[in-house]
């Protein structure tokens, strides 16, 4: 099947960029502090967890799959890592290894199941999400970890500076982890053989198989990477909120999926870019932040997010809609 040929039309990234630019201009005109360093850093801090997950999910989407279980994986990873830290006095190195290891392991399980069961990846990962989350809640009885190690509360900042008024600006763990995550995704997708194979797998799995790619191995790597990213993101989130609750993360999966697809990643696989994913994420974050700055009640935040998603997907589809009339074969 021919994928959305956009001959002559602007790519998703340009279109999204223009919308974001428009929002930024309007918001800056209404609230000059919108473009302040403090506000921008705060937006990045707040979106770091979702953003890091988007960078992982992008790889899965391009490979033609989807993962719903990452929030459950992240919950297990952070709970286990900080429980161990509390019990043994382990430090950063150990908890990163534990959370990353658990994430990688559970991701590999997803990869094995997706490539062997012959069931759609959305169904497989809904099932693994249920199993992982169910077991986590049973073991923990749904209880939060109330005290975290003291060192975990210390900031992990780079480039700490302060201005004349004494306001401190710092690139926090959340922000450099977010930047690192997108750099890693960009490098993997655009500069490695693995990345080219991921695009090929998502574009046409049968062709990829016949060319001789180990598709099962590729799936393992893709879902393993997603799991690893989810495990590491869980620590970034725990450090930001300074709390670990087994129920706090699950239920946010679809927000992450929405941000990734707003950026133009196709659910059919084979399409997507890191720039698009960043812009999709930025669109949602800027809108939420803007509404808050404008004094709109936070009760309406979901409504406007939904409005943006519906408008964006309708807009994307409208640009591709001529297919219905031009080429009936692509119903």
Partner 1 sequence: MPAFLLRHVGRTNLRLLALLALLCLAAAPLIGDRLFAPAGLRSMAYQLPELGLLSLAMMVALLSGGLDLSIIATANLAALAAAAVLKSAPAGADGLVLLAVEAGALLAGLATAALVGLLNGTLIGYLRVSPILATLGTMTLVKGLAIGLTHGSVISEFPPAILFLGSGAVLGVPMPLLLLGLVATALGVLLTRTPFGVVLTLMGSNQQAVRFSGIDTRAALLRVYVLASLVAATAGFVMMARFNSANAAYGESYLLVTILACVLGGISPSGGFGRVGGLVLALVVLQLISTACVLLDFSQFLTLAVWGGILLSVGMIAAVRDQLRPLLAGLRAPVLRPAPPRA
DSSP states of 91-125: -HHHHHHHHHHHHHHHHHHHHHHHHHH-S-HHHHH
Which residue's CB is nearer to partner 1, number 242 or number 297? 297
**Which of these ranges, 35-43, 205-213, 230-238, 261-269, lies near partner 1 under the rule CB under 8 A?**
261-269
**H helices of 142-204, where?**
173-191, 193-203
Give the shortest CB-101-to-partner 1 separation in angstroms. Answer: 21
Q: Is 134 in the site for partner 1 (CB under 8 A)?
A: yes
Which residue's CB is nearer to partner 1, number 54 or number 232? 54
- How many C-beta atoms surround the C-beta of residue 146 within 10 A? 9
Q: Is 9 in the site for partner 1 (CB under 8 A)?
A: no
Give the shortest CB-98-to-partner 1 separation in angstroms. Answer: 22
Q: Residues 168, 160: contact at Cβ < 8 Å? A: yes
Residues 6 or more apart in contact with residue 68 via CB below 8 angstroms = 122, 125, 126, 129, 253, 257
**Which of these ranges, 196-204, 231-239, 274-282, 306-314, lies near partner 1 under the rule CB under 8 A?**
306-314
Residues 6 or more apart in contact with residue 123 via CB below 8 angstroms = none
- Kindly report the three-state secondary structure assignment for every residue of 18-74: HHHHHHHHHHHHHCHHHHCHHHHHHHHHHHHHHHHHHHHHHHHHHCCCCCCCHHHHH
Nearest 5°: CA angle at 57, between 300 and 287?
Answer: 25
* 239 SS3 class: helix
Considering only 196, 210, 302, 327, the residue that binds partner 1 (CB under 8 A) is 302
Q: Residues 72, 129: contact at Cβ < 8 Å? A: yes
The one-character DSSP state at 11 is P
Q: Is 292 in the site for partner 1 (CB under 8 A)?
A: no
Q: Using CA atoms, how far apart are residues 98 and 110, in angstroms rounded to an integer?
A: 18
Q: CA of 310: how far to CAs of 13, 22, 257, 258, in Å?
A: 17, 18, 14, 10
Give the shortest CB-331-to-partner 1 separation in angstroms. Answer: 5
Give the shortest CB-179-to-partner 1 separation in angstroms. Answer: 27
Which residue's CB is nearer to partner 1, number 131 or number 170? 131
Question: Total residues contacting partner 1 (rule CB under 8 A)?
Answer: 56
Number of H helices, E strands in the chain: 13, 2
**Which of these ranges, 21-29, 38-46, 181-189, 253-261, lies near partner 1 under the rule CB under 8 A?**
253-261
**Which of these ranges, 34-42, 172-180, 185-193, 297-305, lies near partner 1 under the rule CB under 8 A?**
297-305
Which residue's CB is nearer to partner 1, number 174 or number 305? 305
Considering only 295, 299, 325, 326, the residue that binds partner 1 (CB under 8 A) is 299
Q: Is 329 in the site for partner 1 (CB under 8 A)?
A: yes
Task: Restricting to residues 91-130, name those near partner 1 by CB under 8 A.
Answer: 113, 116-120, 122-124, 126-130
Burial pattern 295-322, b for ≥16 Cβ within 10 A else e, equals eeeeeeeeeebeebbeebeeebeeeeee
Pairing of strands 168-171, 158-162: antiparallel
Which residue's CB is nearer to partner 1, number 154 or number 268? 268
Considering only 96, 137, 145, 184, the residue that binds partner 1 (CB under 8 A) is 137
Q: Is 196 in the site for partner 1 (CB under 8 A)?
A: no
Considering only 138, 153, 164, 326, the residue that binds partner 1 (CB under 8 A) is 138
Q: Please report, as ranges, the residues that interact with partner 1 according to CB under 8 A.
A: 68, 113, 116-120, 122-124, 126-135, 137-138, 141-142, 251, 254, 257-258, 261, 267-268, 297, 299-307, 309-310, 312-314, 316-318, 320-321, 323-324, 328-329, 331
């Amino acid at each position: 099947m021919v994928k959305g040929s956009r001959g002559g039309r602007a790519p998703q990234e340009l279109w999204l960029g223009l919308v974001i630019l428009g929002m930024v201009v309007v918001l800056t005109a209404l609230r000059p502090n919108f473009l302040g360093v403090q506000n921008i850093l705060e937006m990045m801090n707040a979106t770091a967890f979702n953003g890091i997950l988007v960078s992982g999910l992008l790889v899965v989407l391009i490979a033609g799959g989807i993962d719903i279980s990452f929030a459950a994986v992240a919950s297990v990873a952070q709970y286990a890592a900080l429980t161990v830290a509390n019990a043994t006095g382990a430090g950063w190195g150990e908890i990163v290894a534990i959370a990353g290891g658990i994430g990688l392991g559970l991701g590999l399980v997803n990869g094995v199941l997706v490539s062997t069961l012959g069931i759609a990846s959305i169904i497989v990962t809904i099932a693994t999400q249920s199993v992982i989350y169910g077991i986590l809640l049973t073991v923990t009885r749904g209880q939060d970890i109330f005290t975290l190690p003291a060192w975990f509360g210390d900031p992990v900042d780079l480039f700490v500076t302060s201005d004349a008024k004494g306001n401190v600006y710092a690139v926090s763990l959340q922000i450099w982890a977010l930047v690192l995550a997108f750099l890693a995704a960009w490098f993997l997708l655009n500069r490695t053989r693995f990345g080219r194979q991921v695009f090929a797998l998502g574009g046409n799995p049968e062709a990829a198989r016949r060319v001789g790619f180990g598709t099962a191995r590729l799936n393992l790597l893709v879902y393993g990477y997603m799991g690893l990213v989810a495990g590491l993101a869980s620590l970034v989130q725990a450090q930001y909120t300074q709390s670990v609750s087994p129920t706090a993360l699950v239920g946010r999966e679809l927000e992450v999926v929405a941000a990734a697809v707003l950026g133009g990643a196709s659910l059919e696989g084979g399409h997507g870019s890191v720039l698009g994913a960043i812009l999709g994420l930025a669109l949602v974050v800027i809108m939420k932040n803007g509404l808050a700055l404008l004094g709109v009640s936070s009760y309406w935040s979901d409504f406007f997010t939904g409005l943006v998603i519906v408008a964006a997907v309708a807009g994307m589809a409208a640009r591709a809609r001529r297919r219905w009339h031009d080429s009936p074969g692509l119903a």
